[in-house]
Structure formats: C-alpha cells, structure tokens
Structure 1
Amino acid sequence: MKLITVVQQGFTLLELMIALALIGIGLTLGLPALQQTLLESRVNNAILSLNKDIITARSYAVSYETTVTLCHLNTSNECDNLWSNGYTGFIDENADQIFDSATDEKLFVRGAVSTGDILQFSDGNSLQYQFDGTISTTFAVSEIGTFRYCPGIDNAIYYSRAIIINQSGRPRPSSDIDNDSMDETSGDNDHIICN
C-alpha cells in the first residue's frame, strides 16, 4: 500500500486571522505617523519651490537688468492677492504689475496650492524685483514681506512655514527659533498664522 502525502498550500483560517490582526495593528499605529510625514513633506516642498522661484526671479532681474514681477494673475492679467490660486513670474517691462503679452514674457507659472492650504504674501499683490535685485519700497524696515504657507488642518500652526524677504530682496525660510515645534518669522512668539 502506498502512502499519499498531502502538501498544505495556503493559510489556515487561524493563520489568516492572526496575519490580518497584525496588519490592522500596524496600520493603526503607523498611519498617523505616515500622515504627519506626508503633511510635512507637502509643506516643505511648497516652501522650497516658492523659495527657488523667488531666487530665480531675483537672479533673472539682475542678470538681464530688467524688472521681474511675481504674483497671481487674474483673468485681466493684473496682479491680485489670490496667491493660493497659483502665481506667475514674468518680465514686467513697464513695472505696472500687469502682464502684457506684447512686451512682457512669462518665466514660470505655478499652479494652485493643495486644496484647503493657504499661501499669503504680507505685502499685498506682488513681489517685484528691480534690475539690481532690490525691491522698491518706502518703508525703512529689515523685512519687506513674508510669504506664509499654512496647511488646511486644525493644528496648522505646527506645520506652517514662511519665506521672509529682507530689504535687499533676499529670501530666507522660516525656522523654529525657540524650539517649541513651531516656526517663527523673527521673534520668539512670532509664529506663522494665515488668516
């Protein structure tokens, strides 16, 4: 008589239930950390991209001795303050903050920020670089303006970032000055808040 051996293929019901329970526990513990990492990455990428665009606009103004404007263009090709809807960097030959396709040239166009997120500029409708890389202003301050990026969540203050433009037109990213897990623009209590 011949013995027939059966080789088991697959899982038993008990093994499958244990595996699913372990996967469920792993997701429960790991998903919040993953969401936080993705949120931080989204905000950091937006800020780094904006910083790069500001540096590009300033460099282009200096290299080609022209005026470069950075702003959101409305349907009439005029600058407005709807930064969250995207922005454009363009050569602004007559420095009027209006894109005229006959004389001006677009350097880059960026789309809207993630749904619910906010991008604001404290100095209004546009950031405009002159031929020497400076920004014309009548204010005698060390900071010309601040770009604020806030994610659309309840505790956004912990994830918000900013880019500060100084008097010479140079940008610098915000940092956590006082080690309280919230970036500041200058002083210990100057946390980044979008309105």
Structure 2
Amino acid sequence: MDVQLMIPARSAQYGFTLIELMIVVLLLAIISAFALPAFQSFIASNRLTSEANELLAGLNLARSEAVRTQRRVVLCRATTAAGKVDRASGCVTTADTQPWQSWVVFIDTDADGVFDASEAVLREQVITGNALNLVSDEALRTAGNRIAYRPDGLARAPGSLALQGAVISVCDSSGSLAVTANARNVTLLSGSRVAVTRGGNASCSVTASVEETVEEAEEGA
C-alpha cells in the first residue's frame, strides 16, 4: 500500500497581506477622525438636554406641590459636600455669576425663603461633569437664586408680590459644541410659564441667543 495516499492533502490557507492590513488601518483611522467629533458633540448635547430637563422637572414639581400642599415651595441654588447636596448650608443667596454646584426643592414651611434643616426636601440635584455650567441671570441673582411658588401656583420672589421671571443657563464649556448651540436655557415667565430654549453662549455664563423653544408648562395668568 502506498503510504503517501493515506496522508490527507492540506487545504489551502489564505491570509491578509501587509499592504491590505495597512489599508484597513488607514481607512479606520480616517473614519474615526470624522466620527469622533460628531460622537463627542452628540454626548455633550445629550448631557445638556438631560441637565436642563432635570431642572425643568424640579420647577414643575415645585409648582405642583405648592398647589397640592397649599404651602410655599422653593427651588434654590445649593452647595455640595462629598458629592452630595450640602443641606446644612442652606440656599446660596449670593448674587454672583459663579456656576451652581447643585439645587434643591423644599417646602418652605415658615414661608421665609430660607432652607431650614427641619423643612422637607422634595428633590435635589448635583451638577455633574466638569464641563457643565449652570448660571442664573441677573433677575434670579437679585432674588437670591430662589424661585418661590405660592399656593396659587404662581412664582414670586421671596419678599415680593410681583410675578417672578428668571433664566437659568445650562451650558457646555468643553468645546465639543459650537458656540451657537452650546446652551440650554430654562426660562420662567410671568410666574408660571416655563420653557427650555436651545441657544448659544460664547462665554458659557450668560444667555446669548435663542434658536428653539419647547414649552413644558401651562400658561399662567
């Protein structure tokens, strides 16, 4: 018997040449160069929208709870400690342009506009991400960075009977977004009407322009 006939023939094996591998790597590098900035912009835009929506939800909650409980409910700027809202420090009423570290919604039981340790917290939010800045406009800074809803569902600044208006700008300072679309501005009009606007903020601190409006609350009187 011929021994060579019993040895199975080896199947042909094919692979990539070095040139083919280099071409594939080059194509992947080109695709990544175009896709990475777009992906970073997408992430930054979603982060802005998410933070603005959290603030919008906080305002809507404050209004609805003020009507439901017939108590004054306040949303105010707060500080953080160990990554959490520092409730012991109360509201930050300083009229400066520094970014907010966090915010809190609480039932203002004694109606003094001050966040006391004994008052119930309804919602709180820490501003996450180093690139996100949340800044109040001059009107809100003058009001001590507080939006106070009365039992009638209308917001009036502490110590004032005038309907409150305010703008809180959430902007991205990472550079991933164009300056014409790097901000989401949460706006309170006539004490009850709340809207989120997509805008640009060259300094990432003060509202610059408005491009798109999405209304989220009922119109007040």
Calculate the TM-score normalised by the size of structure 1: 0.78
Alignment of 1:112 with 2:135, yes or no, is no
Q: C-alpha distance in 1, partners of 2:108/2:162?
A: 25
CA displacement 1:84-128 (0-9 Å, x = unmatched): 2111111110122333233x1011111124203211122122111
In the alignment, what sits opposite 1:90?
A: 106
After the TM superposition, which of the residue ranges 2-11 and 19-28 deviates more from structure 2? 2-11
Q: 1:5 to 1:52 in 2, by over 3 A?
A: same
Cα offset for 1:59? Answer: 0.7
The 8 Å contact of residues 71 and 88 in structure 1, kept in 2 or not, is answered as yes
The match for 2:186 among 160, 163, 167 is 163
Q: What is the RMSD computed on CA atoms of the aligned residues?
A: 2.7
Cα offset for 1:175? Answer: 4.5
Q: 1:53 to 1:10 in 2, by over 3 A?
A: farther
The match for 1:149 among 158, 164, 170 is 170
Query: What SS class does the counterpart of residue 167 from structure 2 fall into?
Result: strand
Query: What SS class does the counterpart of residue 93 from structure 1 fall into?
Result: coil
The match for 2:115 among 96, 99, 103 is 99
The match for 1:132 among 148, 152, 174 is 152
Cα offset for 1:83? Answer: 5.5
Number of positions where the alignment pairs a residue of Structure 1 with one of Structure 2: 180
In the alignment, what sits opposite 1:41?
A: 46
In the alignment, what sits opposite 1:8?
A: 13
Cα offset for 1:10? Answer: 5.2
After the TM superposition, which of the residue ranges 7-16 and 63-72 deviates more from structure 2? 7-16
Cα offset for 1:140? Answer: 5.9
Alignment of 1:80 with 2:96, yes or no, is no
Q: Which runs of 5+ in 2 are unaligned?
A: 80-85, 202-206, 211-221
In the alignment, what sits opposite 1:186?
A: none
The 8 Å contact of residues 146 and 165 in structure 1, kept in 2 or not, is answered as yes
Cα offset for 1:5? Answer: 2.9
Structure (1 or 2) with the larger CA radius of gyration: 2
The 8 Å contact of residues 150 and 157 in structure 1, kept in 2 or not, is answered as no
Cα offset for 1:20? Answer: 1.1
Code of the aligned partner of 1:191: S
Q: 1:7 to 1:133 in 2, by over 3 A?
A: farther
Larger strand percent? 2
Q: C-alpha distance in 2, partners of 1:135/1:165?
A: 9
